[in-house]
Amino acid sequence: MKEIITMILTGSIACMFAVAPAFAADNDLGIQQREDRVAAKNGGNLTEKGKTKLTRQQNKASKNIYKKKHNARTANVGK
């Protein structure tokens, strides 16, 4: 009985560590949500400073997407 409980606890802990990164990845706000938050601080309007900041964030996200899309990795499909 003690061995079964130990196995269950060990499995539960292993699952917890395996799932934790998936939940952590969802904490980042999307750029559209950031835009709403910045606009809400100024009565619903974006300031020039806010627009500049959002444009910079969009450019950074675009560069990250490009890098991930055009990396040197290839899949061995059908081999």
Q: Which one has a higher pLDDT value, 70 or 27? A: 70
Does 63 map to a domain?
yes
Considering the domain boundaries, does residue 27 fall inside one? yes
Query: What is the sign of the dihedral through the CA atoms of 41, 46, 48 and 52?
Result: positive
Q: Is 80 exceeded by the pLDDT of residue 78?
A: no
pTM beyond 0.85, yes or no: no
Q: In the prediction, which pLDDT does 44 show?
A: 82
In a domain? residue 20: yes
How many angstroms from the chain centroid is the CA of residue 23? 9
Q: Note whether residue 59 is domain-resident.
A: yes
Structural domain total, the chain: 1
Q: What's the mean pLDDT in 55-62?
A: 92
* Owning domain of residue 35: 2-69
pLDDT tens per residue, range 7-37: 787 877 776 666 666 555 555 667 778 888 8
Residue 67 structure tokens = 């890098």
